[in-house]
Structure 1
Amino acid sequence: MNNFWQRILTGIVFVIAIIGGMWWHQYSYLLIFYTVVLLGMLEFAELVRARPVHAQIGWAVVLGSFWYLASFFVLSGAISERWLMFVVPLIMAVFITELFRKSNTPLLNIACTLIIPFYVALPFSFLHFLVFKGGSYDYLLLLGFFLLIWANDSGAYLIGVRFGKHRLFPRISPRKSWEGAVGGFVFTLGIAFVLSLFIEQLSWGHWLAIGVLVSVMGTFGDLVESMLKRSVNVKDSGSLLPGHGGVLDRFDAVVFAAPLVCGYLILIRYMF
């Protein structure tokens, strides 16, 4: 099977799993995306291991898992927001543990430990704000968010392969083009308008604004991950998804887009 068809098949299975998880139940949503968060943290840990730094992977996974799961149950109304305070002693534990490791790079070890949950678990926890409003679960906004993410990726890929001539950021990602970025932007705005016709929680103007945020920040997320991978001389963050690389390769746009979309919804008073 050549790379194109492998990419298509993997993409279909991937989309079915994501949409099915968020549609079935709030706990199937939690299971799917916590799996993504866990695998993403482990992939990021492998990137960190490519340099002479000794991050505390165990504490990184515990810290990221706690924040992601606790924020889910807080927003669902199952537990009090006071549970989130326990993230402070978990962070302190990282510093205290480093005292006993006798490493020559304690500052780098601590920094690389904390960046793993910060880069992966924290951005994904913002997705909870898209599915919970007043403790009630509704997956439609999250579905719309991912359709915009996929529209941007697909548009950039299709237009970039066919018409891409001017490099967008050659120092970081020599294959990405301005034509592809513009194609992804136009595709995303088109899907945003279509979404406004079917998901009526937001007006067409708000959907277009979210489309702009998703396209721009998704592109930055892609470039930042390329920068991180280039810094440790790897092509993909992992090999879990044939034809697509790793989990972080597939969700790099979410890392940057989700917090900004959530912030926008707060600013327009959709939430809180």
Structure 2
Amino acid sequence: MTDAPGPGGSVPPEPPPSRRSAADVRRAQAAGEAGSPSHMRAARAEFETHVAHARAEFEEANERIKQRTGRDLIVAIAIGLAIGAVVIASLIFYKWIFVIFAIAAMSLGVFEFTRALLAAGRRVDVIPQLTCGVALLLSGYFLPLWLHWIVTIVVVVFLIVWRLLAQMIAHDGRTYAAVVSDVLTTGFVQLYVPFLGSLALILLARPGGEWWVLAFIIVTVAADTGAYGAGLSFGRHPMAPRISPKKTWEGFAGSLVAALIAGVLLAIYMLGLPWWAGLIFGAAITATATIGDLGESMIKRDLGIKDMSSWLPGHGGVLDRLDSILPSATAALALSYLLAPLVVS
């Protein structure tokens, strides 16, 4: 093959090797060396060194975070993303999948809670608690609101009577104060986990309720993330040192800012509400999520445990992830009624 002719119709002659500049020779040599196996191996080794250095720095930072918070950040993020994907997919496509997911989460939460109570010397009936909890959640989704309240009362009374009968049959000489504590604990377990969870299913059953459920879960997660990041970076002043020493006012401020931003965005783009309604939504969820977080910390401190279980690496137990979501369902359900007239159709 011949070279293409130049503008004048002739091919410019290639300069002889003796007339090539030194820069051209160096470029040619560099191009030849770049494709050599030794150069490729050197480049690969350099790349692997950079990757190993970056990985070591990340692991060192993760270890510092783990020492300060007691959580494995990488594992926590991976599990959180997996759970979030299931929740979002179920709410967007099929509500009944979220109902199944809620029943499973509630059952695990009740089981680990009752197990912790039994380890602390309380008497709790696990199987009746689980059975009544499932019934309470299903009634929240399928029955009218007034009938759900009746089911709640019947379930709590049934569990209290069951506990009293079981104590009468036991004849183990348990003190009166211990029996009263067992009865109160029995009712509390059912109201704390299944009943609060059923409020989320009541909200889900409403027209467009899946978007409200998704919104309040997103705001709760945003509040937890904001509290975690701000507390880790700027936390100096403990919020409730006797209940949860690691929670700070700086973390609460970060939680509030993140929740307000998420609330405004979700109000405008998901719920069809005015922006200021998003501020109310974010502030209310922040308040209930913080109360729920501190409340569970108080329960764990009373039981003498750090986490309800270790089923979710990086998070603790199922109930440790539901502590801020469960009470937030109450605020979300109430606001769905109060703010419904403001929805732009």
Report the alpha carbon displacement of residue 257 of structure 1 after superposing the two structures with TM: 1.5
Q: Which runs of 5 or more residues in structure 2 are unaligned? A: 1-58, 63-71
Report the alpha carbon displacement of residue 88 of structure 1 after superposing the two structures with TM: 4.5
1:189-204 correspondence to structure 2 within 5 Å: 189-204=260-275
2:312 matched residue in structure 1: 241
1:168 matched residue in structure 2: 239
1:49 matched residue in structure 2: 118
Match of 1:152 among 223, 227, 234: 223
Distance 2:138 2:293 in 1: 26
Report the TM-score when normalising by structure 2. Answer: 0.71
Distance 1:266 1:102 in 2: 49
Report the alpha carbon displacement of residue 237 of structure 1 after superposing the two structures with TM: 1.1
Q: Percent identity?
A: 27
1:252 matched residue in structure 2: 323
Contact 1:56 1:110 in 2 (8 A): no
2:289 matched residue in structure 1: 218
2:159 matched residue in structure 1: 94
Contact 1:66 1:87 in 2 (8 A): no
Distance 2:271 2:155 in 1: 41
Task: Look at both structures and tell me which one has the larger radius of gyration over its CA atoms.
Answer: 2
- Paired residues, number: 265
Letter in 2 for 1:115: F
1:230 matched residue in structure 2: 301
Q: Aligned to 2:242, what secondary structure does the other structure show?
A: coil
Letter in 2 for 1:122: F
Q: Which runs of 5 or more residues in structure 1 are unaligned? A: none
Match of 1:182 among 248, 253, 258: 253
Report the alpha carbon displacement of residue 96 of structure 1 after superposing the two structures with TM: 3.5
Letter in 2 for 1:214: I
Superimposed CA distance per residue, residues 31-54 of structure 1 (whole angstroms, 9 cap, x where no aligned partner): 111111111111111221132221
1:17 matched residue in structure 2: 86
1:27-176 correspondence to structure 2 within 5 Å: 27-74=96-143, 82=147, 85-97=150-162, 98-99=164-165, 100-103=169-172, 104=174, 105-133=178-206, 136=207, 138-176=209-247
Match of 1:8 among 70, 77, 89: 77
Letter in 1 for 2:199: F
Report the alpha carbon displacement of residue 4 of structure 1 after superposing the two structures with TM: 1.7
Letter in 2 for 1:14: I
Contact 2:116 2:308 in 1 (8 A): yes
Contact 1:60 1:114 in 2 (8 A): no
Q: Aligned to 2:245, what secondary structure does the other structure show?
A: strand
CA pair 270-244 structure 1, distance change in 2 beyond 3 A: farther
CA pair 268-242 structure 1, distance change in 2 beyond 3 A: same
Report the alpha carbon displacement of residue 84 of structure 1 after superposing the two structures with TM: 6.0
For CA contacts below 8 A with separation 6 or more, give which structure has more relative contact order: 1
Report the alpha carbon displacement of residue 192 of structure 1 after superposing the two structures with TM: 1.0
Distance 2:148 2:214 in 1: 28
